[in-house]
A and B are shown apart, each in its own frame.
Chain A
């Protein structure tokens, strides 16, 4: 008897679900909302959400976010081609954007939008715009690595004296952007050798946060991450960074690489006007202020918008001059695969 009751309930539940699926169109539904702007976003969820909420409040335009990783989402857009449901693409780093650009899937950037970001923070191709920036840093634990012993260059970490003494998250797009920057600035052979050193020397961790926490716990003396994970943790509980400090390489070293997050309108966008408005908004002063207020601790790139006061100004980081348009994700993947890292 009990089983029959259960089965009846199950049947009813199943039917309800099926019916529900057919008619759902609200935010938590099982189908994309055809009335909403479709944003494919590899950017951090909190920042994307903050932008979307402010934009919808301003314009009344509904937005749906599809989450993914930089590289996989870039390739997904390529696989989907002109038929993609996406209207806007936001990345954390630029190589994935370049991938989509090279497949001729981006709509030309509007002049008005381009003007909102300084020219040195945009690609020479002008097919997309940067929407935020992040700097490479070395996070270190002074009790395991005295400041006097800090490496002068990121390239030093491939040397035998650094065996088992540093960590990074080589599987992530963040790190691969750093390698892409190295490839553009130092050439293929130096990058290959460095990756060989990485394979022998470094501990591969899940992501930037895991790397920072490992350094904080003293498991490894130092690690390569992006700056904002550390500043976020410092602004919060300091649970994952209390025992650590940041080392900026500067001097146009590959370790001073500044990665640009990209934003673009897809050529096949179903809602091109709304998409352009969205991109225009997030690079505007108001949109960039949303970034600063979101506590994401990424650098604002909008003209005349100062980043969070805790951060050393972008101009003081002495980043190596790299045209983000030249950064290639595929070549980096091949090099890392050959080095046995991926």
Chain B
């Protein structure tokens, strides 16, 4: 795109297009940041070493016997099929909905923005439990794709909507003035800029699918993760489970590579004089009614139906006075406590790596970042088991304490905070930092006075995403929570395991009630882009 070299700057290779900023960027990163990033990466990688170590402990003959059997092929096929069907669907729904909300004359766009994010507030395993209770035929691959698509499309919708909102109309207008047709301008200006958001969102969806357990267990659709859980149930941390987990980690590496290739290197922050102009909305005209109907169906399937079913169970629980307030309050307290801790720890832990990547991009920094993703694609139980193994051998005092559970959450959810920090840091262009430094402000001072205010909304997004994920995390929690601690998710799971809809209802409602306000807050992530 030679016509836009002024505004479209290579993001990961500053030397190529932005000579003005090379001076600072080629400087050495502060030692404390490097140490922080390396320590966090080491913590994240530690479980992987345990997994691979355990997988290798089987010996090569036993390992190949366990690995190269029809069951492994069956699981691989199931897992890849699920990803291949669900990711394109979430991209289609996420991008389509984002475009409608941000770039068209859709009536009530603000309300839709909140409603379209709402699936994040309904744990996917609650939603699948609700659907199967009224429609037992929601099963197998079809059911799994149906439920996960509805639950995960917001991971694409959120970053794409934020980007579309931040898009500068001037870019489009320049393209048009240079002779591009409307669609051509979109293709050449908008789509390249969307690529990182679509790629990042798809990656999150794909990694989620690799690690998903609750939904697929209820759908009776065996994947690597459900099978690993089964191996865990019969053998705790045996070689068979670890081998499957190692394959899963390799799959994840594959997805990460694909994402890097697809993401491109487009820079998003505006350069040059003046301020951006709000995009001009497309007129929906006669399409308004069908569009609204379509969105209503989407929100209805993803939110209204499961929500209504939970409310119906809850009503029955209330009318039969089946709700025991004590355990419910205790579980809510544990969930909130663990989620707040996990949110804080994860957000802080993600900063050094994100900072390093933003300010001092190098192969090493990118490597550190990628490393954090691999562990997050493993099912919680694998990370949990690895931490149990590590703690039993090396860190007895933290065994069966909240600290170990929080460490697991940080390992599992670091990418969420990382992605959020990165979009925030992208909004704080280096030039501002240069200016601050040139005015004599120290590095730390610049961080506090210039960078922090700009990135705080993103940090908050990272916190909220981690909080939401922690509240609904199941398998690591089952394993790592201190004795006597029950969270909303584990209590819901035990009740749902007995297929006791009424007993599970208060815990499902509790998770949703905790998540809804935070999901609404995520709307700010989109709004704050301007």
Q: Which residues of A contact B (CB under 8 A)?
A: 3, 6-7, 10, 13-14, 17-18, 20-21, 27-33, 38, 45, 64-69, 71-72, 74-76, 78-81, 83, 85, 171-173, 176, 204-207, 209-210, 213, 217, 219, 240, 329-330, 333, 336-338, 340, 342
Residues of chain A contacted by B463 (CB below 8 angstroms): 10
Q: Contact at A18–B483, with CB atoms within 8 Å?
A: no
Q: Which single member of B236, B484, B486, B524 contacts A76 (CB below 8 Å)?
A: B236
Is B109 engaged at the interface, CB distance under 8 Å to the other chain? no
**In the complex the two chains form, what is the Cα distance from A33 to B482 in whole Å?**
10
Q: A32-B400, A71-B236, A83-B392 are in contact. Are A66 and B483 (CB under 8 A)?
A: yes
Q: A27-B330, A337-B66, A342-B231 are in contact. Are A32 and B483 (CB under 8 A)?
A: yes
**Can you name 16 A-B pairs with beta carbons within 8 Å?**
A27-B484, A28-B331, A30-B337, A30-B401, A32-B484, A38-B483, A66-B483, A75-B235, A85-B400, A206-B497, A209-B498, A330-B235, A333-B235, A337-B66, A337-B240, A340-B71
**In the complex the two chains form, what is the Cα distance from A64 to B481 in whole Å?**
13
Shortest Cβ distance from B253 into chain A, in angstroms?
25
Is B388 engaged at the interface, CB distance under 8 Å to the other chain? yes
Q: Which of B488-510 contact A (CB under 8 A)?
A: 494, 497-499
Q: Contact at B484–A204, with CB atoms within 8 Å?
A: no
**In the complex the two chains form, what is the Cα distance from A219 to B137 in whole Å?**
10
A68 and chain B: residue at smallest CB distance: B478
**In the complex the two chains form, what is the Cα distance from A29 to B456 in whole Å?**
32
Q: Contact at A79–B499, with CB atoms within 8 Å?
A: no
Shortest Cβ distance from B216 into chain A, in angstroms?
11
Q: Contact at B340–A29, with CB atoms within 8 Å?
A: no
Q: Contact at A31–B402, with CB atoms within 8 Å?
A: yes
Shortest Cβ distance from B32 into chain A, in angstroms?
23
Residues of chain B contacted by A29 (CB below 8 angstroms): 482, 484-485
Instruction: A13-B336, A30-B337, A171-B230 are known; give 7 further A-B pairs, CB within 8 A.
Output: A17-B341, A28-B485, A31-B401, A32-B400, A72-B235, A72-B236, A342-B240
Q: Which single member of B74, B220, B238, B336 contacts A204 (CB below 8 Å)?
A: B220
Is B376 engaged at the interface, CB distance under 8 Å to the other chain? no
Q: A17-B340, A20-B337, A79-B392 are in contact. Are A32 and B482 (CB under 8 A)?
A: yes
Is B446 engaged at the interface, CB distance under 8 Å to the other chain? no
Residues of chain B contacted by A21 (CB below 8 angstroms): 337, 341, 402
Is B100 engaged at the interface, CB distance under 8 Å to the other chain? no
Q: Contact at A3–B233, with CB atoms within 8 Å?
A: no
Q: Which of B433-464 contact A (CB under 8 A)?
A: 456-457, 460, 463
Q: A72-B232, A79-B237, A83-B392 are in contact. Are A28 and B484 (CB under 8 A)?
A: yes
Residues of chain B contacted by A329 (CB below 8 angstroms): 234
Is B104 engaged at the interface, CB distance under 8 Å to the other chain? no
Shortest Cβ distance from A80 into chain B, in angstroms?
6
Residues of chain A contacted by B230 (CB below 8 angstroms): 171, 342
Q: A7-B456, A28-B484, A71-B234 are in contact. Are A76 and B341 (CB under 8 A)?
A: no
B499 and chain A: residue at smallest CB distance: A209
**In the complex the two chains form, what is the Cα distance from A38 to B233 in whole Å?**
21
Residues of chain B contacted by A219 (CB below 8 angstroms): 136
**In the complex the two chains form, what is the Cα distance from A163 to B329 in whole Å?**
47
A232 and chain B: residue at smallest CB distance: B498
Q: Contact at B233–A171, with CB atoms within 8 Å?
A: yes
Q: Which single member of B220, B231, B388, B401 contacts A79 (CB below 8 Å)?
A: B388
Q: Which single member of A14, A80, A338 contacts B392 (CB below 8 Å)?
A: A80
Is B419 engaged at the interface, CB distance under 8 Å to the other chain? no
**In the complex the two chains form, what is the Cα distance from A85 to B69 in whole Å?**
38
Q: Contact at B233–A213, with CB atoms within 8 Å?
A: no
Q: Contact at B233–A71, with CB atoms within 8 Å?
A: yes
Q: Which 3 A-B pairs have the closest CB atoms?
A: A75-B236, A28-B330, A30-B402
**In the complex the two chains form, what is the Cα distance from A172 to B338 in whole Å?**
29
Q: A20-B337, A72-B236, A79-B237 are in contact. Are A30 and B485 (CB under 8 A)?
A: yes
Shortest Cβ distance from A164 into chain B, in angstroms?
14
**In the complex the two chains form, what is the Cα distance from A146 to B509 in whole Å?**
43
**In the complex the two chains form, what is the Cα distance from A86 to B467 in whole Å?**
31
Q: Which single member of B337, B399, B524 contacts A17 (CB below 8 Å)?
A: B337
Residues of chain A contacted by B266 (CB below 8 angstroms): none
Q: Which single member of B231, B341, B457 contacts A3 (CB below 8 Å)?
A: B457
**In the complex the two chains form, what is the Cα distance from A45 to B235 in whole Å?**
22
**In the complex the two chains form, what is the Cα distance from A74 to B331 in whole Å?**
26
Residues of chain B contacted by A31 (CB below 8 angstroms): 400-402, 482
Q: Contact at B344–A14, with CB atoms within 8 Å?
A: yes
Q: Map CB proximity to A onto B160-202 as digits: 1 under 8 Å, 0 otherwise.
A: 0000000000000000000000000000000000000000000
Shortest Cβ distance from A95 into chain B, in angstroms?
10
Q: Which single member of A13, A45, A336 contacts B340 (CB below 8 Å)?
A: A13
**In the complex the two chains form, what is the Cα distance from A251 to B336 in whole Å?**
54
Residues of chain B contacted by A205 (CB below 8 angstroms): 220
B501 and chain A: residue at smallest CB distance: A239
Q: A28-B484, A337-B66 are in contact. Are A3 and B460 (CB under 8 A)?
A: yes
Q: A65-B483, A83-B392, A340-B71 are in contact. Are A30 and B234 (CB under 8 A)?
A: no
Q: Contact at A79–B389, with CB atoms within 8 Å?
A: yes
Shortest Cβ distance from B355 into chain A, in angstroms?
20
Shortest Cβ distance from A40 into chain B, in angstroms?
9
B344 and chain A: residue at smallest CB distance: A14
**In the complex the two chains form, what is the Cα distance from A338 to B456 in whole Å?**
53
Residue with the highest number of chain B CB atoms closer than 10 Å, among A10, A172, A338: A10
A31 and chain B: residue at smallest CB distance: B482
Q: A32-B484, A79-B236 are in contact. Are A342 and B498 (CB under 8 A)?
A: no
Residue with the highest number of chain A CB atoms closer than 10 Å, among B232, B334, B344, B389: B344
Q: Map CB proximity to A onto B335-359 as digits: 1 under 8 Å, 0 otherwise.
A: 0111011001000000000000000
Q: Map CB proximity to A onto B317-332 as digits: 1 under 8 Å, 0 otherwise.
A: 0000000000001110
Shortest Cβ distance from B441 into chain A, in angstroms?
22
Residues of chain A contacted by B388 (CB below 8 angstroms): 76, 79
Shortest Cβ distance from A11 into chain B, in angstroms?
9
Shortest Cβ distance from A161 into chain B, in angstroms?
24
**In the complex the two chains form, what is the Cα distance from A285 to B417 in whole Å?**
56
**In the complex the two chains form, what is the Cα distance from A28 to B220 in whole Å?**
33
**In the complex the two chains form, what is the Cα distance from A14 to B343 in whole Å?**
9
Shortest Cβ distance from B135 into chain A, in angstroms?
12
Residues of chain A contacted by B399 (CB below 8 angstroms): 85
**In the complex the two chains form, what is the Cα distance from A29 to B218 in whole Å?**
30
Is B278 engaged at the interface, CB distance under 8 Å to the other chain? no
**In the complex the two chains form, what is the Cα distance from A207 to B236 in whole Å?**
19
Residues of chain A contacted by B499 (CB below 8 angstroms): 209-210, 213, 240
Q: A204-B220, A342-B227 are in contact. Are A14 and B482 (CB under 8 A)?
A: no
A330 and chain B: residue at smallest CB distance: B235
**In the complex the two chains form, what is the Cα distance from A14 to B485 in whole Å?**
18
Shortest Cβ distance from A1 into chain B, in angstroms?
13
**In the complex the two chains form, what is the Cα distance from A217 to B230 in whole Å?**
26
Residue with the highest number of chain B CB atoms closer than 10 Å, among A21, A38, A240: A21
Q: Map CB proximity to A onto B231-272 as digits: 1 under 8 Å, 0 otherwise.
A: 111111110100000000000000000000000000000000
Is B70 engaged at the interface, CB distance under 8 Å to the other chain? yes
Residues of chain A contacted by B401 (CB below 8 angstroms): 30-31
